[in-house]
Amino acid sequence: MPTEEAIVKLFYLAAAVLFIIGLKGLSHPRTAVRGNLLAAIGMLVAIVVTLADNRIVSFQIIVSGFVVGGLLGAIMAYRAPMTAMPQVVAIFNGFGGGASALAVGAALEEALKGEWIEELTVQFTSSAAGAALIGAVSLTGSLVAFGKLQGLINERPILLRGRHVINSALVLICLGLSAWQVVGFTPLLFHADSQLAADLDRAAFPPDLRQAFENHGIALSGRLSVSVEEANKAWRITDSGNRETYETKRQGDHLSIHSHSALPFWIMVVVASILGIMLVIPIGGADMPVVVSLLNAYSGLAAAGHGWVLNNSVLIVAGSLVGAAGFILTALMSKAMNRSLANIVFAGVGATVATEAESEDIYAGRVKAASPGEVAMLMEGARRVVIVPGYGMAVAQAQYAIQDLTNLLESKGVEVEFGIHPVAGRMPGHMNVLLAEANIPYEKLKEMDEINPGFRQTDVVLVIGANDVVNPLARNADPSIPIAGMPILNVDQARSVVVIKRSLSPGFAGIPNPLFAADNALMLYGDAKRMAMDLTAALKEI
């Protein structure tokens, strides 16, 4: 291996190690910032080394792509509120998958032009097919996920009749086109003597070559023509009877022959794009974060496939890490919701919502409202308070007001802890990120398994903008309940529960919550931030 190549590989290895250490750091909030930084340094090393390597397009193209893409990305990320993060992640991730599909398509076209024909190996063509298939699915699937989360498309599952049959057919078509492409593009090597080349140069089709084609299972028609592309080096054989063209190139004492058209590849990309839409359209908005994580894993796989096409080890490692991390996160999220991935992806959960009559049955005359002053009195007398945040805290950006409330309660000798449900909010770690932003110590954030046994010894639970994650209906095994079997925070076991939200509207799962009508529950109606501030003010007055 030449020294230069060895140095590039060494830097790629360093980048891969930085990615892995960075990813490990992301597994805990305390090390997450450093982990993120290390992974970013790894990416910088990978980019600089790739740019310094000689097989790249012009720097003008790279810099313009960097400026345009970077600018658009920065504007989109700055303009998106925290609550819109899932759809921002979805669309960025989709672009990654789309970029992989287009980049392998470009590499294929480039190779077909004959520039690096020797690289058209089975590894090249099959990885190109795989990367393009998965990349196109993740692009259009992510666009649908973005549309649903942004409210541009109906977030309820759209269940087309016969969708499983249609999707299976689309998968088979994609696989068939991929196989066609792999077989058509993989060059057939024929031993070529100078007589054969001379015949081709005279635009005559040598009979030996017909036999060689047939030996490789390619039946030629009677209408063949040969055009000389590059004297004694490259020829184009057109079989007008079968409407097929074969690029023929001299490689040492061999001829390499492959099909000319990239059409099956691009048709496959279009079909895979339709498949991406078809796969995500039947999934409800509440399940979208899981789908986004799955699509994220797909775009990682597409990037890894892209790495195989280009023989670029750092792209293979980075793509595989994204793919594996995405699959692990998807599995953890499904587990936290007590659902199988198949149920999330294929069952169309969420197609029905609670009717007003159903909600009326549960709430009628049983819901008690309280004022900030009354709740402050209740908390003043408590020894232990547990705060359970949910999506509403993110909407209201109430984390700083909650920090003030926590500090005040602690200054009055009340023990305060936070109960964090793994799927509270709209993305994994949503609550942890917001509370960390407000400098609430990690030690106070207790995961579900840790906090649940302590609710019976808790005087007051303050539920702030959470709904589904504290809904006792989840304990029900009835499969018509979308959150049936999902482990919840058992806040109803505490002596008193105060729920801060603006109304009795359902949460993301679209079902009523019997907790609001429980004997030990009080509703504090209003915006989460406003109510946390009012509670602090009322506590100060006591």
Give residues in contact with ligand NAP (CB under 6 A): 286, 289-290, 333, 337, 390-392, 395-396, 423-428, 430, 465-469, 500-503, 505, 507-509, 527-528
> What's the full length of the chain, in residues?
542
Residue least distant from ligand NAP (Cβ): 507
Type of residue found at 319: G
- Residue 428 and residue 293 in contact, taking contact as beta carbons nearer than 8 Å: yes
Euclidean distance between CA atoms 231 and 248, whole angstroms: 12
Is the Cβ of residue 49 or residue 423 nearer to ligand NAP in the bound state? 423
**Shortest distance, CB of residue 292 to ligand NAP, whole angstroms?**
9
Helix (H, G, I), strand (E, B) or coil at 258: strand
Is the Cβ of residue 248 or residue 432 nearer to ligand NAP in the bound state? 432
Q: Which residue has the tokens 């529950």?
A: 521
Is the Cβ of residue 304 or residue 469 nearer to ligand NAP in the bound state? 469
**Shortest distance, CB of residue 408 to ligand NAP, whole angstroms?**
20
**Shortest distance, CB of residue 50 to ligand NAP, whole angstroms?**
34
Type of residue found at 93: N
Q: Which residue has the tokens 């990416």?
A: 43
Closest CA to 513 of 483, 479, 487, 493: 483
**Shortest distance, CB of residue 229 to ligand NAP, whole angstroms?**
55
Euclidean distance between CA atoms 123 and 139, whole angstroms: 23
Query: Residue 510 — left, alpha, or beta (φ > 0 → left; ψ -120 to 50 → alpha)?
Result: left
**Shortest distance, CB of residue 526 to ligand NAP, whole angstroms?**
7
Is the Cβ of residue 212 or residue 283 nearer to ligand NAP in the bound state? 283
- Retrieve residue 458's tokens: 């808790």
- Residue 250 and residue 197 in contact, taking contact as beta carbons nearer than 8 Å: yes
Strand order in the sheet with 521-525: 445-447, 415-420, 384-389, 460-464, 496-501, 521-525
Is the Cβ of residue 192 or residue 396 nearer to ligand NAP in the bound state? 396
Which of the 8 DSSP states describes residue 187? P
Quickly count: other Cβ atoms within 10 Å of residue 249's Cβ: 19
Euclidean distance between CA atoms 204 and 224, whole angstroms: 9
**Shortest distance, CB of residue 482 to ligand NAP, whole angstroms?**
8
> For strand 384-389 and strand 460-464, is the pairing parallel, antiparallel, or unpaired?
parallel
Is the Cβ of residue 83 or residue 311 nearer to ligand NAP in the bound state? 83
Closest CA to 535 of 405, 445, 421, 426: 405
**Shortest distance, CB of residue 461 to ligand NAP, whole angstroms?**
13
Query: Residue 105 — left, alpha, or beta (φ > 0 → left; ψ -120 to 50 → alpha)?
Result: alpha
Quickly count: other Cβ atoms within 10 Å of residue 486's Cβ: 21
Which phi and psi angles does 447 have, rounded to 5°?
-75, 165
Annotated active-site positions, please?
A: 468
Is the Cβ of residue 226 or residue 499 nearer to ligand NAP in the bound state? 499
